[in-house]
Amino acid sequence: MGETAGRIIFLNGTSSSGKSSIADELLDILDDEVWFHLGVDMFNAMRTKRAMEQAQFDEALKRTRMGFHRSIAAMVEVGNSVIVDHVLSEPWRLADCLDVLSPYQVLFVGVRCDVQELTRRETARGDRPSGLAAQQYDLVHRHGDYALECDSGAYSPRECAEQIKAFLPNQSGSTAFERLRAGAGR
């Protein structure tokens, strides 16, 4: 890692929890340096849309996620600061991020929202399978350690972004990623 490495604000939450909206607001209010928004959905949108067998699709999806994690590291390595929005619904995703992003400063933010609001948002969006957010609800936060959590049901995306911005200068000591990495015996 070079001395020019950027920073990472890592937003983790279910589908429809408001991560992308918070990231957009952060891009608007973070004025200390140039930031980029890297979203897992952006990488999914780049993939071919042809029909595949389930096993082939699952393997392509895993490679997509692994490539996404390494793209985050590549951007940060050369000095870019990034806002990541991701859904860590499978244990290997978090483990891979802990490994790949280990040299970098990561502010790990949990984006939470109650299930009823997630269901309402999911229905209003119409571009997600019904029940996806509820299915992910317990999975994405099961590791139980964040530097900061935002309730996107109680606060607007702008208010959540302001909470994150206010927290950035106070980030010190052991980070959530470091604690999770240590707890996993890494």
What confidence tens digit (pLDDT) does each residue in 113-136 have? 998 888 888 888 867 777 777 788
Task: Report the pLDDT averaged over residues 147-158.
Answer: 96
Q: Is 41 a catalytic residue?
A: yes
Domains, in order of start, for the chain: 7-183 (3.40.50.300)
Task: Provide DSSP, 129-161.
Answer: -TTHHHHHHHHHTTT---SEEEETTTS-HHHHH
CA distance 56 to 169: 44
Which of 41, 58, 114, 138 is catalytic? The answer is 41
Backbone phi, then psi, for 157, in 5-degree steps? -55, -40
20 is in an annotated binding site: yes
102 is in an annotated binding site: no
For residue 159, how far is the Cα from the chain centroid? 18
16 is in an annotated binding site: yes
**pTM for this prediction:** 0.90
What confidence tens digit (pLDDT) does each residue in 37-86 have? 999 878 777 777 788 898 988 888 899 899 999 999 999 999 999 999 99
Closest among 135, 137, 72 to 111, alpha carbons compared: 137
Task: Report the pLDDT averaged over residues 132-156.
Answer: 91
